[in-house]
Amino acid sequence: MIPFEYALYLAVLIPIGFLLNIPFYIYWLKKQNPSNEVYLYMVRGKFTYLNVLDMIARIERATNQDLKVERRKIERYFNLSREQKKSFKIYRSVIYRLLKEKSFGKPKILKSIHRMPVYTKVVAIWDVMIILSILNCIVVAANAAGAGLLAAVFAALLLGIFPSGIVWLMCHSAFNNVLRYATNKRIKEVSSIPFRIAMAQFWAFTGGYLWKDIYWAEGSLTWISESSTGYYGGISSGFESDNSSGEGNFGGGRAGGSW
């Protein structure tokens, strides 16, 4: 087990380093090229029934899922909009919620990590290490005080979850809000594509919880489970990436991988 001084340094430096890294990560995203991965999280072009079907087909190819149930639900929404003589867009929020849950497949967290480029993986792991470093510091301190390893771990879980959670929440929410602001700032521009992809990947990495995505609910945002409310701001901007092939597998080579 490492000396307490080193554990304390890590518990202090990891959160500070995480916060200091945020502007560098934003700058890196600005330099990334657009990727067709974004069309797993939004329609390509205007929000129409055919473009939604195209989005479903992309998700099915990328995740090896058969989304027959989702197709039937969306067809029902389309027919209802025609019967009501209203725009299909009135069902945009519920359709995006439905498809976003399917856009990564299962297991969602592992799939999101697989799609992340190296730098995004580092930031995601760094985020988790904030809590782990503080808990580790408490384990080392308790062990140095004479407690056994199991007792030290129990003490860390009992006494350390709350303070480590507070520190993590501050760092995590700061990163989330900065990234969301940077995304919304350019939401209708092609340069937003790497930001949209990163936002979706971090949403899935957190399991769909504790992440403010670019979903709006009557002009305001909620913290928990953003997938349950609102609509995707700027989702029908109509931009298209230079890469239009739309086929293949995702990796972590570029901003969110490539097709």
For residue 81, what pLDDT is reported? 94
Tell me what percent of the chain is helix, strand and coil, each rounded to the nearest 5: 65, 0, 35
- What average pLDDT does the segment 202-218 reach? 73
- Please state the rounded mean pLDDT for residues 86-112: 91
Distance from C-alpha of 258 to C-alpha of 250, rounded to nearest angstrom: 5
Q: What is the mean pLDDT of the chain?
A: 82
Residue 92, both tokens: 């945009």
Tokens of 166: 């507070």
CA distance 226 to 229: 6
How far is 82 from 221, CA to CA, in rounded Å?
31
Find the mean pLDDT for residues 183-190.
88
Tokens of 93: 């929020």
pTM for the whole structure = 0.79
Q: Residue 217: what pLDDT?
A: 32
